[in-house]
């Protein structure tokens, strides 16, 4: 990936020579080119700003050096190619910079970042740029910095570390905060008991026991608790999910497990009757198994709204996860809708909701169902899935996949 940064403080970008990003540059994975805006001025004082029309405090960056600098960046593109960079203009009034945006940007071959200073850049530079390349104004957050350089550092680091090979263990990227909609769980290392000047601080016992399912469950509970405490907005009901407007859709917690177990047993009974065969995991699972499943998957539950903040009836659920060992596949499953609400498109909308939560790296969706449940297969086909020929992942089942669009 190539990134061009235009700034009046090229030295500000020096940290991009350090650590993983510095190594990625040396390895040729990331080609960062920093341009001094003042090199595109033509007066003795190398002026880049002037007072604002209409009055007011501060100075505004003049259009001419910016237009020349951006034209210069475009002109240095790959020989003969019509390529242009995606221009990011940092600004507190921009689109919030998120992990999802970082993922999208990491798939682009060429970015440019225009670092403003003072009161910002003359608006006509945006028009000039937009006629030549895609432009996005990007905000680091709801606060005001002195210049765009800190944003450029943040963007290059967040995007650069998603490029293949930059972070040694690609799996560590999957579990992080903001991947999958939740914050990360707390992490610990040796010593297991740390003598903090007389106070012994211990690592949670579950992490030392070697029970992987218990660790996964604990981590999921911690992710939920931490997200609820620090970023409740991330757990807010997905009221805008198409087709689910009347329902309250949330990420499931262990408190939802008893109702989830009842619903899954009710919904899998028809399969037991049609197939006449056992075991069927959703029918065999204990309450502990359901709780453990919440730790290994992101599960959403939909409830009908209730009066006065009370919990409404749990009427539908679905779950999804990145396939262990393959971050390009998003496995979905356990799609259930209460028998009295079936046939209203709820399942379809919930499945689409689970698909939309897949991280950017995901390229295809996967679901598995019983071979005898023709209605399920038809339903998934209507949702765009295609049958994978042959036996499914589990005996008596079929796999269905669809590419991400």
Binding mask 149-168 for ligand SAM (x = CB under 6 A): --x-----------------
**Beta strand 135-139 with 86-96: parallel, antiparallel or unpaired?**
parallel
Taking CB under 6 A as the binding criterion, the range among 18-26, 84-92, 213-221, 365-373 that sits at the site for ligand SAM is 84-92
Cα 83 from Cα 148, distance rounded (Å): 24
Cα 62 from Cα 77, distance rounded (Å): 25
Kindly state the smallest distance separating residue 89's Cβ from ligand SAM, in Å. Answer: 7
DSSP per-residue letters across 67-83: HHHHHHHHHTSSTT---
For helices 212-230 and 287-296, the axis angle rounded to 10 degrees is 70
Backbone angles phi, psi at 161, to 5 degrees: -70, -10
359 φψ region: left (φ > 0), alpha (ψ -120 to 50), beta (else): beta
- Is residue 11 classed exposed, middle or buried when 0-12, 13-18 and 19+ CB atoms within 10 A define those classes? exposed
Kindly state the smallest distance separating residue 36's Cβ from ligand SAM, in Å. Answer: 16
Taking CB under 6 A as the binding criterion, the range among 140-148, 257-265, 271-279, 389-397 that sits at the site for ligand SAM is 140-148
Token pair, residue 233, equals 């907005």
Is the CB of residue 244 less than 8 Å from the CB of residue 238?
A: yes
Specify the residue, 60 or 249, whose C-beta has the smaller distance to ligand SAM: 60
Specify the residue, 141 or 258, whose C-beta has the smaller distance to ligand SAM: 141
Taking CB under 6 A as the binding criterion, the range among 146-154, 199-207, 295-303, 357-365 that sits at the site for ligand SAM is 146-154
Q: Which of 146, 277, 328, 393 binds ligand SAM (CB under 6 A)?
A: 146
CB atoms within 10 A of CB 109: 11
Contacts with ligand SAM by CB under 6 A: the residue count is 19
Specify the residue, 116 or 347, whose C-beta has the smaller distance to ligand SAM: 116
Q: Which of 119, 175, 296, 326 binds ligand SAM (CB under 6 A)?
A: 119
Please give the C-alpha separations between residue 396 and each of 214, 279, 323, 384, in angstroms, as whole numbers.
29, 11, 21, 22
Specify the residue, 53 or 143, whose C-beta has the smaller distance to ligand SAM: 143
The single residue listed with the structure tokens 């690609």 is: 170
Q: Which of 65, 148, 180, 320 binds ligand SAM (CB under 6 A)?
A: 148
Is the CB of residue 365 less than 8 Å from the CB of residue 400?
A: no
Q: Which of 44, 57, 143, 199 binds ligand SAM (CB under 6 A)?
A: 143
144 touches ligand SAM by CB under 6 A: yes
Specify the residue, 10 or 92, whose C-beta has the smaller distance to ligand SAM: 92
Q: Which of 65, 85, 120, 181 binds ligand SAM (CB under 6 A)?
A: 120
137 touches ligand SAM by CB under 6 A: no
Specify the residue, 148 or 333, whose C-beta has the smaller distance to ligand SAM: 148
65 touches ligand SAM by CB under 6 A: no
Cα 25 from Cα 30, distance rounded (Å): 5
The torsion angle over the Cα atoms of residues 167, 170, 176 and 181, rounded to 10 degrees, is: 130
Kindly state the smallest distance separating residue 87's Cβ from ligand SAM, in Å. Answer: 13
Cα 23 from Cα 2, distance rounded (Å): 15
CB atoms within 10 A of CB 381: 13
147 touches ligand SAM by CB under 6 A: yes
Specify the residue, 153 or 358, whose C-beta has the smaller distance to ligand SAM: 153
Taking CB under 6 A as the binding criterion, the range among 137-145, 223-231, 300-308, 359-367 that sits at the site for ligand SAM is 137-145
DSSP per-residue letters across 288-308: HHHHHHHHHSEEEEEE---GG
Kindly state the smallest distance separating residue 275's Cβ from ligand SAM, in Å. Answer: 57
Specify the residue, 3 or 329, whose C-beta has the smaller distance to ligand SAM: 3
Binding mask 88-117 for ligand SAM (x = CB under 6 A): --xxxx---------------------xxx
52 touches ligand SAM by CB under 6 A: no
Interacting residues with ligand SAM (CB under 6 A): 90-93, 115-117, 119-120, 139-141, 143-148, 151
């Amino acid at each position: 990936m190539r990134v061009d940064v235009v700034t009046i403080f090229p030295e500000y970008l020096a940290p991009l020579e350090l650590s993983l990003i510095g190594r990625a540059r040396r390895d040729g994975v990331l080609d960062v080119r920093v341009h001094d805006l003042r090199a595109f001025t033509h007066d003795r004082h190398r002026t880049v700003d002037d007072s604002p029309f209409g009055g007011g405090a501060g100075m505004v960056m003049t259009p001419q050096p910016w237009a020349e600098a951006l034209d210069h960046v475009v002109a240095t593109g790959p020989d003969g190619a019509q390529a242009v960079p995606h221009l990011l203009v940092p600004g507190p009034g921009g689109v919030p910079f998120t992990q999802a945006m970082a993922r999208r940007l990491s798939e682009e071959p060429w970015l440019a970042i225009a670092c403003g200073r003072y009161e910002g850049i003359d608006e006509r530079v945006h028009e000039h740029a937009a006629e030549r390349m895609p432009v996005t104004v990007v905000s680091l957050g709801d606060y005001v910095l002195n210049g765009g350089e800190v944003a450029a550092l943040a963007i290059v680091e967040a995007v650069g570390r998603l490029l293949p090979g930059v972070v040694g263990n690609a799996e560590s990227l999957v579990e992080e905060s903001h991947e999958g909609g939740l914050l990360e769980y707390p992490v610990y290392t040796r010593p297991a008991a740390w003598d903090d000047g007389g106070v012994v601080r211990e690592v949670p016992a579950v992490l030392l026991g070697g029970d992987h399912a218990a660790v996964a469950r604990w981590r999921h509970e911690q992710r939920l608790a931490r997200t609820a405490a620090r970023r409740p907005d991330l757990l807010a009901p997905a009221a805008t999910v198409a087709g689910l407007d009347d329902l309250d859709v949330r990420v499931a917690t262990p408190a939802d497990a008893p109702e989830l177990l009842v619903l899954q047993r009710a919904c899998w009974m028809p399969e037991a009757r049609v197939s006449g065969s056992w075991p069927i995991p959703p029918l065999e699972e204990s309450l502990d198994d359901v709780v453990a499943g919440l730790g290994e998957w992101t599960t959403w539950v939909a409830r009908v709204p209730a009066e006065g903040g009370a919990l409404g009836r749990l009427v539908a659920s679905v779950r999804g996860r990145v396939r262990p060992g393959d971050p390009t596949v998003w496995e979905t499953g356990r799609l259930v809708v209460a028998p009295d609400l079936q046939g209203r498109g709820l399942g379809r909308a919930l499945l689409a909701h689970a698909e939309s939560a897949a991280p950017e790296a995901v390229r295809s969706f996967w679901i598995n169902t019983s071979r005898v449940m023709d209605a399920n297969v038809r339903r998934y086909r209507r949702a765009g899935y295609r049958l994978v020929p042959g036996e499914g992942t589990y005996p008596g089942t079929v796999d269905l996949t669809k590419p991400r669009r």
